Structure 1
């Protein structure tokens, strides 16, 4: 079973070109699935897997309090795995054929108000090279809506300030070009001219954003910076690195941006993923109406 799992992950990486985080998610889900088959169902051959055994595994996850979103992800991983085994003629049938995914609970993303975003953007003081870097990162995140993984993955050659755009590689290594505004451009230029040079150590790195060791900034490093800036800005809302991405999309749509254009900038493969932000704007409109209309 281990060999077949390794072959599947290699297939996803080489032929499907999936992102590292997606591969980790697939492997984690399937390892828990295979462990269940071996320790609970006492199976040693994937040809022996029946539909009922998969349903019992999913029931166990549900009993553990897993959300419908997590269950749906496990089903997708298991289904893709068995379909791969069938194509490779490792097994003779696919036991996932009649297993349906649960309806996902679509929770609305948390967003900051424009005033809260302004407080956060004003939080880093560009008095030293750390402040210049942090200012450039936060401005760029809100200006483009890119993911944090895309932000820290940027190289010097991906930023084109004279043309006013940044190039990034999203999920599945898909390239996209995103315009950046004047404010973010100025913050980036200041960091490139006066900040980045102070991070460079003996061994040079092409990474755009560097840490104090002169190496590419990590997700964990950025997360610590964001928590510090949030506290300094006096924002009490729970903030994640994705909150600025959600806020970017919501504020664009609130100001009349085209949904397809926002989809393109966010790098969503399916427009239904982007449409959740239209629900956010409707909810915010209701809140404003309830608060300010005299007969609400």
Structure 2
């Protein structure tokens, strides 16, 4: 049984970019079957006699590595079949390997992953991977990521880290970028784009980044300054800013995106019941009179838009992308207004909508509330996550504790 494997530049088909696709060709007893490799090349850069890219072909090394990988896998498959005396045809070889042969560049995998997340409505996640992709593109001097995942090794990671540090990025940003890159690499391994043993993060550990951040909680006194402020004669944005921050603090530190998605259906017998957008954990809290008063203020809007607060509208924000863009836009406006509001009240700390969540947790802790209860109210899946929210005990508390030694 005579079987030959080759890769050809298929001149019979011309793509929109003027290039021809590269095809794997398996010939058995003069019968040929072909399969696209998912890459193409300009005919002027292809040596049709040798069946390989010319020396000056762009991405020559990448193309050669893909060709070598595909040919090697099929040759191994044929040897295994012959050694086991198994029957096979050129067509059966291709069908058996459809799930195993995946020649993709980092560029292609990232863009496919981002689009897939968007289609599934996971807009927040898609933005995280898009940010990672754009950062890698900048690191690559604006060029496409036309290399395979095996190119991302430990030296690559170290150079990437050095580049980001020269740009002035802190460890928290570096950790975020590398965690996203690591997640992408793991997804590529699962998709059989790259071998598991190639994973650089087995050696390149992210634990060396210092991700400790300054705690963002306000004192109870500063919180009350915001909540008790009279914004009746202020503009609509200032009133909304005051109401959203106060509502977040009063309702278990509910996040901005969760507030935006609340409807009348989330209020059951004076309780706020909802599922977190981020973790999908279920929250069930008693609504205080103050929180109920804030909700009642927007009753007219609720009848028209179906949402509790004037952020989303049922007739204007329908798709996940529309909702995500709207939430980001209003959150930015509210945070800008919050900073000005805090300055007017004499609060020196940086104040954003997220500060209400941290403050809720910290103030309860200082009041002696069990961390497990705080964790449940925040909707955390793990108490360790709650501990990250909570600052260390004040020096005065430690000093008082030391008095009990004798």
TM range (shorter): 0.7 to 0.9
1:152 to 260, 265, 271: 260
- Using a 3 Å threshold, how does the CA distance of structure 1 residues 2 and 164 change in structure 2: closer, same or farther? same
Distance in 1, matches of 2:358 and 2:204, equals 32
What is the CA-CA distance between 1:82 and the residue it aligns to? 1.4
Aligned to 1:9: 114
Distance in 2, matches of 1:167 and 1:220, equals 23
2:170 to 29, 53, 67: 67
1:184 to 279, 291, 305: 291
Distance in 2, matches of 1:48 and 1:175, equals 42
Distance in 1, matches of 2:389 and 2:200, equals 36
- TM-score of the aligned structures, taking structure 1 as reference length: 0.78
Cα displacement string for residues 98-117 of structure 1 (whole angstroms, at most 9, x for unaligned residues): 11112433123132222211
Higher relative contact order (CA 8 A, sep 6+): 1
The answer to whether the aligner puts 1:109 opposite 2:215 as a matched pair is yes
Cα displacement string for residues 194-251 of structure 1 (whole angstroms, at most 9, x for unaligned residues): xx42x589xx32221116x997772123224423532443333321221111111111
Distance in 2, matches of 1:31 and 1:129, equals 38
The answer to whether the aligner puts 1:96 opposite 2:201 as a matched pair is yes
- Using a 3 Å threshold, how does the CA distance of structure 1 residues 71 and 132 change in structure 2: closer, same or farther? closer
More strand by share: 2
Please say if residues 154 and 168 of structure 1, whose CA atoms lie closer than 8 Å, have aligned partners that are also in contact: no
Return the index of the structure with the highest Cα Rg.
2
**3-state SS, counterpart of residue 353 of structure 2:** coil
What is the CA-CA distance between 1:258 and the residue it aligns to? 1.5
- Number of aligned residues: 279
- Using a 3 Å threshold, how does the CA distance of structure 1 residues 48 and 243 change in structure 2: closer, same or farther? closer
More helix by share: 1
The answer to whether the aligner puts 1:242 opposite 2:354 as a matched pair is yes
Aligned to 1:265: 377
Distance in 2, matches of 1:208 and 1:228, equals 25
**3-state SS, counterpart of residue 96 of structure 1:** helix
2:388 to 272, 276, 280: 276
- TM-score of the aligned structures, taking structure 2 as reference length: 0.59
Aligned to 1:53: 156
Aligned to 2:180: 77
Please say if residues 136 and 187 of structure 1, whose CA atoms lie closer than 8 Å, have aligned partners that are also in contact: yes
What is the CA-CA distance between 1:50 and the residue it aligns to? 2.7
- Using a 3 Å threshold, how does the CA distance of structure 1 residues 287 and 220 change in structure 2: closer, same or farther? farther
